Chain A
Amino acid sequence: MRLTCPLCGTRDRREFYYSGSEDYLNRPAEGAPIEAWDDMLHLRTNPAGVTKDLWYHETGCGSWLLVTRNTITHAVLATELVAARKGGAA
């Protein structure tokens, strides 16, 4: 599998560190109930199909990427910089 980093171009999967689902971006507000934290940290939709997850370009530019890909075919559909999203970095 190869991922296209918006800054570095198409790179080998081994340059990237997989963190997990995009749920990690939905950090609850201060004082949110424990269920909200459980939801972000542990519970997952875990789709068989298109998913969005976070990858860190560890041996490249050091950016966090939000990758849209298919968990059945391993096709990578889109990549974007987390920092460039509305609301900025996680």
Chain B
Amino acid sequence: MRYSGWKVITEGLLGNTGWGRAWRDPAPKAEYDAIVIGGGGHGLATAYYLAKNHGLTNIAVLEKGYLGSGNIGRNTTIVRANYFLPGNSEFYSHSLKLWEKLEGELNYNVMHSQRGHIILFHSDGQRDAAVRRGNAIVNQGDDAELLSVAQLKDMLPYLDYNQTRFPIYGGLIQRRAGTARHDAVAWGYARAADKLGVDLIQNCEVTGIDTVDGKVIGVQTTRGAIRAKKVGMVVAGRSSQVAAMAGMRLPIESHVLQAFVTEGLKPVIDHVVSYGMGHFYISQSDKGGLVFGGDIDMYSSYASRGNLPMVEHVMEAGMTLMPMLARARVLRSWGGIMDMTPDGSPIIDKTHIDGLFIDAGWNYGGFKAAPASGWCMAHLMATGQSHEVARRFRLDRFRTGHVMDEEGTGSQHNLH
């Protein structure tokens, strides 16, 4: 079924009786051409592009819980391409271009809103860094624009510009950046992949990876053994556990990142705004809730819930920047498990086992990357070659010294 405005009208008249399932619920077959472990944003995107770009339709996505039950439904929904380093810059640029065509391509409303993302700066040094970053983004072919305090005051009148410690010196805006409805991204990819014949198998936990003579031959699951000559591990925060089944030890430590949402308010924040002197970023959802987050809790955790000191820190940073937040009531907070690498950049690569691939290490920037991550992982699994824009996301780059430390904070997993 094709979704359209006309369909909404006719279904409205017919009592919404004709929508049907968005995707099938198939039982696993004994064998597939390829298996993607993980039914989150990246896994579903990988399956979709394997089918769409490479004609591989006899494939399955194996998901431990339900589709989109992980970080794809637990994030602050920011989509941007304002990275600096070669390797990251072209990759996120590619991703943003995919975002811009995503809804038409998937025939699904992911509520992609290019409302602009503003990074504030609070010192001369930060301004220099913002100018440099902006130039790098423009050289990459994307948009970046420096905003003066006067321009900012016009756009964001609610900020506290004269904070005693961190007065606002200006901002760097990327107008094509914005937000998207996170769950809808998973659902859109799932529905589109299913339509191309991909089996989306839920409640199917992978319990083992079978290899013979250094080649992968399939996986063991809670729903029986499934054979495949190509297997992709796309499991974000659980990457270490899944890779351990193949005897691998990854350069990843899992950490919790918290996010928060307030009660629904009238439109008040029109952009995505990031604070340059505290780890704080905020936007307003279409439903009216203020969605905001901060830094990870800083110690390794799989708890999917955070600790209070970081809650306090995020609220302090928010209040410093936007005193008006004091009147908003926080409805809920949640935590997602982030696969942190020692340089803050991801991994899309082969492994030491023939036919086994890995897509991991998204730190806490995985949401905006989902389309390009799926695109590049599908390219790697189908052709055996790294995609041009993901060629630096090597698994062995820490050993060889080709690290991509975007923030320049050093080789410690929790510092990115």
Contacts A46-B300, A48-B302, A53-B299 given: A18-B240 contact, CB under 8 Å?
Answer: no
Nearest-Cβ distance from residue A74 to partner chain B, whole angstroms: 6
Q: A1, A21, A38: which contacts B253 (Cβ < 8 A)? A: A21
Would you give 19 A-B contacts (Cβ < 8 Å), ordered by A? A19-B412, A20-B253, A21-B253, A35-B399, A38-B399, A44-B249, A44-B250, A44-B253, A44-B413, A45-B249, A46-B254, A47-B240, A48-B241, A48-B254, A51-B300, A53-B299, A53-B300, A71-B300, A73-B303
Residue of A nearest to B403 (CB): A42
Q: How far is the CA of A35 from the CA of B400 in the complex (A)?
A: 10
Residue of A nearest to B251 (CB): A42
* B299: A residues at CB distance < 8 A: 18, 53, 55
* A48: B residues at CB distance < 8 A: 238, 240-241, 254, 302
Given A1-B307, A18-B414, A43-B250, list of 6 further CB < 8 A pairs?
Answer: A13-B307, A14-B309, A34-B399, A44-B240, A45-B244, A71-B300
Q: How large is the interface on B (under 10, 10 to 19, 20 to 34, 35 or more residues)?
A: 20 to 34
Contacting pair A20 B303 (CB below 8 A)? no
Q: Does A72 contact B (CB under 8 A)?
A: yes
Contacting pair A41 B414 (CB below 8 A)? no
Total cross-chain contacts (CB, 8 A): 70
Q: How far is the CA of A34 from the CA of B250 in the complex (A)?
A: 16
Q: How far is the CA of A12 from the CA of B240 in the complex (A)?
A: 29
Q: Does B301 contact A (CB under 8 A)?
A: yes
Q: Which chain A residues in 36-71 approach chain B with CB under 8 Å? A: 38-39, 41-48, 51, 53, 55, 71
Q: Does B298 contact A (CB under 8 A)?
A: yes
Q: A13, A41, A74: which contacts B398 (Cβ < 8 A)? A: A41
* B254: A residues at CB distance < 8 A: 46, 48, 71
* B10: A residues at CB distance < 8 A: none
Contacting pair B414 A20 (CB below 8 A)? yes
Q: Does B252 contact A (CB under 8 A)?
A: yes
Contacting pair B414 A71 (CB below 8 A)? no
Q: Does B411 contact A (CB under 8 A)?
A: yes
Contacting pair A45 B240 (CB below 8 A)? yes
Say what secondary structure dominates the interface of chain B: mixed
Interface residues, chain B, with chain A CB atoms under 8 Å away: 238, 240-241, 244, 249-254, 298-303, 307, 309, 342, 398-399, 411-414
Contacting pair A71 B302 (CB below 8 A)? yes
* A73: B residues at CB distance < 8 A: 303
Pick the most buried of A34, A41, A44, A55: most chain B CB atoms within 10 A of its CB: A44
Q: B244, B251, B303, B412: which contacts A71 (Cβ < 8 A)? A: B303
Nearest-Cβ distance from residue A50 to partner chain B, whole angstroms: 12
* A51: B residues at CB distance < 8 A: 300
Contacting pair B298 A18 (CB below 8 A)? yes
Nearest-Cβ distance from residue B294 to partner chain A, whole angstroms: 15
Nearest-Cβ distance from residue A38 to partner chain B, whole angstroms: 4
Contacting pair B300 A21 (CB below 8 A)? yes
Q: B253, B342, B399, B411: which contacts A46 (Cβ < 8 A)? A: B253
Mask of A4-23 contacts with B, CB within 8 angstroms, 1/0: 00000000111000111100
Q: How far is the CA of A51 from the CA of B414 in the complex (A)?
A: 16
Residue of B nearest to A39 (CB): B249
Nearest-Cβ distance from residue A7 to partner chain B, whole angstroms: 20
Q: How far is the CA of A85 from the CA of B250 in the complex (A)?
A: 27
Residue of B nearest to A46 (CB): B240
